[in-house]
Amino acid sequence: MITLASITWDIDPEIFRIGPVAVRYYGLLWALSFIGGYYIFERFVKREKLPEGFLDSLTIYTAIGTILGARLGHCLFYEPEYYLSNPIEILKIWRGGLASHGAAVGIIVAIYLFAKKHKKPMLYVLDRIVIPVALAGVLIRLGNLMNSEIYGIETTLPWGFIFERNGEIVAKHPTQLYEALAYLVTYGILHLTYIRKKGLVPNGLLFGLFLIFVFSARFVIEFIKENQVDFESGMALNMGQWLSIPFVLVGVAFVFMALTKNKVKS
């Protein structure tokens, strides 16, 4: 039988540098996620004839909520003792440390504030914003791959990656790609459902499906992912898995309510 060799991965995360300023793949992919999300939501705005300025305001709220939530989520969920003792370090986002669970909470809070200001049902907005957010998840995980971070445990599978930049000498599961694929499938299902329903989806349905798909995938993939912090080594389930469970349960509840009530409000 012919098998592929392991993939040696030693990509420089910096694309180029001008003096002290460096342009990195991770930052570029984050920026592309917002640009792509803006384009996708712009089509929703035109289809549903939403008011002028709706999308620009939503973009600002979502960007702030995502970045603040992801950063605070990492600092408080994974390394609370260090960051609470050194709060100024929380602001140094360029040093890394973002959590998808925190981003999810940040987005929800941001959408609540946005919906309240624009007098729109919160679930109406969430059902649409999770479509580009799922696609953004794909790009962000690709950014993690370019950074040679958040990868899995040792594997003998032919698509294992040897992350040489981190000093690895054996192949590890490229869990960044596993998650990116899961998020891509999630994006496809959500967007296709929106299109087939012509935008008339029961409030909470797409949001609930997003939570179920994304955090179920995260829960499963965590079994083959290396622990991010030392205290996880003694846990039956790691922090990422414990944080995923309530999101999945909330997602199931929203899907059930959406299918039962079957109401579309805008």
pLDDT tens digits, the chain, 266 residues: what are they?
Answer: 344 568 999 999 999 999 888 899 988 998 999 899 999 999 999 999 998 889 999 989 988 998 888 888 888 877 888 888 888 888 777 666 777 778 888 988 999 999 999 889 999 999 999 999 999 999 999 999 999 998 999 999 999 999 999 999 999 999 999 999 999 999 999 999 999 998 889 999 999 999 999 999 999 999 998 776 666 666 778 888 888 999 999 999 999 999 987 666 66
Q: Provide the β-strand partners of residue 161.
A: 7, 172
Q: Note the pLDDT of residue 170.
A: 94
Helices (H), 49-156: 54-77, 80-85, 100-118, 122-146
Q: The tokens 């794909």 sit on which residue?
A: 138
Whole-angstrom distance, CA of residue 140 vs CA of residue 26: 7
Which DSSP string corresponds to 216-240? HHHHHHGGGB--SSGGGGG-SS-HH
Q: Note the pLDDT of residue 264.
A: 63
Task: State the DSSP H helix or E strand holding residue 98, giving kind and residue range, or none if neither.
Answer: none
Whole-angstrom distance, CA of residue 190 vs CA of residue 183: 10
DSSP, res 29: H
Q: Note the pLDDT of residue 2.
A: 41
Instruction: Compute φ and ψ for 43, nearest 5 degrees.
Output: -70, -35
Is the Cβ–Cβ distance between 187 and 227 less than 8 Å? Answer: no
Q: Provide the β-strand partners of residue 89.
A: none
**Angle, helices 54-77/25-48, rounded to nearest 10 degrees:** 140
Task: State the DSSP H helix or E strand holding residue 162, giving kind and residue range, or none if neither.
Answer: strand 161-163
Q: Note the pLDDT of residue 95.
A: 66
Is the Cβ–Cβ distance between 141 and 177 less than 8 Å? Answer: yes
Burial classification of residue 226, based on how many CB atoms lie within 10 Å of its CB (0-12 exposed, 13-18 middle, 19 or more buried): middle
5's tokens: 């060799």
Q: Which amino acid, residue 5?
A: A
Q: Note the pLDDT of residue 224.
A: 93
Whole-angstrom distance, CA of residue 173 vs CA of residue 206: 30
Is the Cβ–Cβ distance between 219 and 266 less than 8 Å? Answer: no
